[in-house]
Chain A
């Protein structure tokens, strides 16, 4: 059975774009928490 979302190139491209955006957001969140930790630990 085929996935209709994968059969439609536009839908596939849109979903890939959304996945990349979610991945970048998660990375940004991790970096933000890391930076806050560094600054707080250094007394900034």
Chain B
């Protein structure tokens, strides 16, 4: 750990099982479950339901393990930020070494179980995802470059590919298309949040985009990524992966996403000091453009993946373009 003294903001109590569960970042795990399950269903291969459930569990536990690795290493900077200072390690309820041990054990078990339940391609991709998040992003990228969440976003984007590989043993272009959607979604999602928490990131010395390049540049980049996301989000309809319901949802959702990004770009948020946010959603009105984009980005991503899942479960007509027919 990097040796910065941790200021305990809350009274220390004995750690219960909920604290260990919190180390696994349950909200991130829920997103991983949805996206991995979508990849699994979109693969279109018959799979034993028990093995499918075990594969999803393994992918979720692997994501949780990498979350614990992240919390073990980042305790020093987590203690300096309001959003993260009540996490179990910076709050003093769990030792960083214990979080590290939990992360390593869960990661190893998750990869091993996925390998024996499905195949080595899926297990290898899960191992890569964990190492990429726990080592490449956490140890290297996060504290060194404002592109941290852009490159590191690959780790969060890979679960649908792992799910697809678990079901079929392959990783075709359509599976990578799901990865691309989450990869392009990550920067506007996190930068919208960091625009109204940049004070904390600056205090912790994390070079998030608003801290390193300024608010105006961040807002412009959010808009650029949002336009790219709206377009990438439409591609599954062209390759036959998504149907007409998906197309309608992606078109409307993408338009709203871009409209919110335009509103944020024009808001000037971050150019002058803004009142502090009490929480992610409990924010002053001036922060609304960033908060709304952050909240909508979550709805948008869940909606796209749930739409794909439902379409593949019930079967709906698709608009596959002949030129892209080989993507699946």
**Residue ranges of A at the interface with B (Cβ–Cβ < 8 Å):** 5, 8, 10-11, 13-15, 17-18, 20-21, 29, 32-33, 35-36, 39, 44
Is B231 engaged at the interface, CB distance under 8 Å to the other chain? Answer: no
In the complex, A17→B15 CA distance in Å? 9
- 11 new A-B contacts, CB < 8 A, other than A8-B14, A36-B51, A39-B50, are A10-B13, A10-B14, A14-B13, A18-B16, A20-B17, A32-B54, A32-B113, A36-B50, A36-B116, A39-B51, A44-B48
| Identity of the chain B residue whose Cβ is nearest the Cβ of A10 in the assembled complex | B14
A-facing residues in B158-201 (Cβ within 8 Å): none
Is B327 engaged at the interface, CB distance under 8 Å to the other chain? Answer: no
Between-chain CB contacts (< 8 Å), 16 pairs: A10-B14, A13-B16, A14-B16, A17-B16, A18-B20, A20-B17, A21-B17, A21-B20, A29-B109, A32-B57, A33-B113, A35-B54, A39-B51, A44-B48, A44-B50, A44-B51
Q: Which residues of B contact A5 (CB under 8 A)?
A: 14
Per DSSP, chain A at the interface is helix
Q: How large is the interface on B (under 10, 10 to 19, 20 to 34, 35 or more residues)?
A: 10 to 19
| Identity of the chain A residue whose Cβ is nearest the Cβ of B46 in the assembled complex | A44
In the complex, A32→B57 CA distance in Å? 10
Q: Which residues of B contact A13 (CB under 8 A)?
A: 16
Contacts A18-B20, A21-B20, A29-B109; is A35 near B15 (CB within 8 Å)? no
Q: Which residues of A contact B16 (CB under 8 A)?
A: 13-14, 17-18
Contact with A along B22-62 (1 / 0, CB 8 A): 00000000000000000000000000101100100100000
Q: Which residues of A contact B116 (CB under 8 A)?
A: 33, 36
In the complex, A5→B13 CA distance in Å? 12
| Identity of the chain B residue whose Cβ is nearest the Cβ of A5 in the assembled complex | B14
Contacts A29-B109, A39-B48; is A11 near B14 (CB within 8 Å)? yes
Q: How far is the CB of A21 from chain B (nearest CB, A)?
A: 4
In the complex, A13→B54 CA distance in Å? 31
Q: Which residues of A contact B54 (CB under 8 A)?
A: 32, 35-36
